């Protein structure tokens, strides 16, 4: 799921937001799952959303 394809960015940002929230409340496993999903989709998405 390429980050450069603008219609994908909303979903990828949502995954990043979920990951960040999970990290803030101590849900390390969920944070890692979200981060890995972004990295698997397109490493640029993890960088662009700050979850790299």
Q: How many domains does the chain have?
A: 1
pLDDT at position 52 is 82
Flag whether 1 is in a domain. Answer: no
Structural domain contains residue 37 = yes
The span from the CA of 49 to the CA of 10, in Å, is 11
Cα separation, 21 vs 10, whole angstroms: 16
What pLDDT shows up at residue 23?
Answer: 97
Note the residue count of the chain: 52
Report pLDDT digits (tens) over 18-51: 999 999 999 999 999 999 999 999 999 999 999 8
Helices (H), 1-52: 6-24, 28-41, 43-49
Report yes or no on 32 lying in a domain.
yes
In a domain, 2, yes or no: no
Question: What pTM, to 2 d.p., does this model score?
Answer: 0.92
């Amino acid at each position: 799921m390429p980050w450069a394809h603008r219609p994908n960015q909303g979903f990828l940002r949502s995954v990043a937001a979920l990951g960040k929230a999970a990290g803030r409340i101590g849900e390390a496993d969920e944070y890692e799952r979200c981060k890995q999903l972004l990295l698997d989709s397109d490493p640029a998405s993890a960088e662009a959303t700050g979850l790299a």
